[in-house]
Structure 1
Amino acid sequence: MRKLYFLVPGTGGKFACGGLWAELKAFKLAQQVCIAEVVTYRQREPDKPFLDDLLQEPNLDNAIFVISWGFDIAQLAKKLQQHNVVYHAHSAGYKFSLPASIPIITVSRNTLGYWGQKAPNSLIYYLPNEISYEFKNLHLERDIDVLVQARKSSEYLLKQLIPALQQKCQVQVVDSYVEDLPELFNRAKVYLYDSAEYWAQQNVSEGFGLQPMEAMACGCQVFSSINGGLSDYLDPGFNCYKIAGYSQEYDVDRILKVINSAISPKLSEEFFAEYRPENIIKRWQVILEELNAFFDHKKNYPGNIPSLTRGRLLNLSIQRIKNKFRKKYFQGL
């Protein structure tokens, strides 16, 4: 198999975020299938190759560049157009298109559907994010009634719901990096997550939404928005509760009811199996075999399926209207 180069702007500092950690987890699992390496392209790091230097090397046909940083994709795709490139898509909604020569791997079925419509001639695959085994129910004493991470939380959550809950129960708001997130989830009865407002401001979608699933794996009851990739696995009324439900008072009543009833989610390990390392490694194996076959094919054959450009869509619409009028005309004879 070809070597994989996972391109990230940097591996720490200002680039540190959930999307970066998810990409690095995907990289480590890919290493179980083939040779893979992390490459930076914005900040140089002493222990990692830098993209501009790497592109000077020969025999890069034996490599696949994996790009994932949404805001940089258009620029990277252009820079790497002479090479084998795969887009590892987390969020959807970025204002760019990709040629059919760049296959797409999506982290959620929500994003899979987005690219299935936007890039109908591209090879598209589904590879969910990993929920590692450290996220499990340790059956600890749950001394936190409500847990909230401030980042990505809505104004309603931070300025209305949380102050109301603080008058009635023990609430912990996290606004910095947590060293042991599984332990914190295991101490909480309820986890609140409301990211719809945040992603609406970014004009892109929630790619996967790791935290609610990690909380569920640790035995928390989850109240969450159901936007973007969250809709892959959240099922209000069955494995979670929809937050921001009509009124603040209704939210408070439902959350207190869950806290006081000591209800724990009854989710089997089978529910999480799709997102555990073993399944993702198996999917990597299949996807990478297909990608290597595709890039072998691409060397000898050009793409020849018409793309759904604006111009072509306009022509198709005109043809449809003409055919409609022609059909009515002949029916009237």
Structure 2
Amino acid sequence: MRKLYFLLPGTTRSFFCGGLFAELNTLNLAQQICKAEVVTYRQREENHPFIDDLLPQENLRDCIFVVSWGFDVPKQLKKLTHCHVVYHAHSSGYGFSVPPEVPILCVSRNTMGYWGMRSQNSLIYWLPNQLPTNVSNRQVERDIDILIQARKSSEYVVNQLIPELQKRFNVVVIDSFVDDLMVLFNRAKVYLYDSAEYWAQYRLTEGFGLPPMEALACGCQVFSSVNHALADYLDPGENCHKIAGYATGYDVKRIAAVLDNWQPNNLPESFFSPYRTDQLVPRLENILTELNQFFDYRQQHPSDIPSLTRQRLLYLFCKRIQNKLKK
């Protein structure tokens, strides 16, 4: 198999975010199958090659570049025109298009549906984010009634809901980076997550929504929005509760009812199995096998399937009207 180069702006603390950690987890999965390493493109790092130093090499046909960093992807695709490239798609809605010679790995079915319509000639695969084995219910005492992360939370949660909940419950608000969020998930009884407003401001989508899934795996009762990829696995009334339900008072009433009769969210391990290493590695191996076969073919043959460009859509519209007039 070809070697994989995962393009990241950097790996130091200034780049810490869910997308970076998800990409590094995918890198670790890939390293169980083939050679793979990080390549940085914004800052030089001692432990990783830099993209401008790597490109002059002559053996790039024997590798695949994995791009993923949202707003940087169009520039990277242009820079890597003569290389084998895969787009690892997290959030969607950035507005750019992906050419048919670039396969797309989607972290959610929501993202897969987006690219299935926007880049219908590209190879598209579903590869969800990894849920590590240490994300589980550790059966410890839960001294936090309600846990909330301020980042991505709506103004409603921060300004209306939290003040009301603080009158009755022990509420912990996280407003900075936490090295081990699983410790807090295991101390909390209820976890609140409301990201719909955050993503709407940027006209982007929730790519996967790992925190609510982590909270579920750690035994929390979850009150969450169900926008975008969250709808892949959240099922209000079954495994979670929908937050921002009509009125502040009604949210408080429902959260209080859960806390008054609190029981851990004991979802079966089968619910999390598709996101665990045991199932992700074989899935990724199958995908990489197909990608290597595709790039072998692409080196010898051009694409000949028309894309749904604006011009083609206009042509199809005119043709449809013409056919109606003939009838």
Deviation for aligned residue 1:16:
1.2
Give the counterpart letter for 1:74 in structure 2: P
Distance 1:182 1:76 in 2: 34
Distance 2:38 2:147 in 1: 34
Q: Deviations over 1:273-295 (max 9, x none)?
A: 00001111111100000000000
Q: Deviations over 1:270-322 (max 9, x none)?
A: 00000001111111100000000000000100000000000000000010011
Q: Deviations over 1:75-119 (max 9, x none)?
A: 000000100000000001111001100000000000000000001
Are residue 304 (structure 1) and residue 297 (structure 2) matched?
no
> Which runs of 4 or more aligned residues in structure 1 lie more than 3 Å from their structure 2 counterparts after TM superposition?
none
Are residue 215 (structure 1) and residue 215 (structure 2) matched?
yes
Distance 2:325 2:163 in 1: 62
TM-score normalized by the length of structure 2? 0.99
- What does residue 294 of structure 2 align with? 294
The equivalences for 1:208-247 within 5 A come to 208-247=208-247
SS in 2 for 1:87: strand
CA RMSD, aligned part only?
0.7
Deviation for aligned residue 1:14:
2.6
Give the counterpart letter for 1:46 in structure 2: E
Deviation for aligned residue 1:26:
0.4
- What does residue 51 of structure 2 align with? 51
Are residue 104 (structure 1) and residue 104 (structure 2) matched?
yes
Give the counterpart letter for 1:76 in structure 2: Q
Give the counterpart letter for 1:71 in structure 2: F
Deviation for aligned residue 1:266:
2.7
Are residue 17 (structure 1) and residue 22 (structure 2) matched?
no
Distance 2:31 2:131 in 1: 17
Q: Deviations over 1:219-271 (max 9, x none)?
A: 00000000111110000000000000000000000001001101322310000
Deviation for aligned residue 1:177:
1.7
Give the counterpart letter for 1:295 in structure 2: F
Are residue 258 (structure 1) and residue 269 (structure 2) matched?
no
- What does residue 200 of structure 2 align with? 200
Distance 2:44 2:5 in 1: 15
Distance 1:244 1:264 in 2: 22
Deviation for aligned residue 1:179:
2.3
- What does residue 160 of structure 2 align with? 160
- Count, aligned residues: 327
- What does residue 31 of structure 1 align with? 31
Distance 1:125 1:179 in 2: 31
Deviation for aligned residue 1:180:
2.3
SS in 1 for 2:130: coil
- What does residue 186 of structure 2 align with? 186
Distance 1:278 1:12 in 2: 29
- What does residue 122 of structure 1 align with? 122
Structure 1: where are the runs of 5+ without partners?
A: 328-333
Are residue 69 (structure 1) and residue 33 (structure 2) matched?
no
Distance 1:179 1:13, change over 3 A: closer
Deviation for aligned residue 1:23:
0.5
Give the counterpart letter for 1:167 in structure 2: K
Structure 2: where are the runs of 5+ without partners?
A: none
Deviation for aligned residue 1:13:
3.2
Q: Deviations over 1:118-149 (max 9, x none)?
A: 01100000000001011101111111110001
The equivalences for 1:70-85 within 5 A come to 70-85=70-85
Distance 2:179 2:8 in 1: 23
The equivalences for 1:117-156 within 5 A come to 117-156=117-156
Distance 2:36 2:189 in 1: 39
- What does residue 330 of structure 1 align with? none
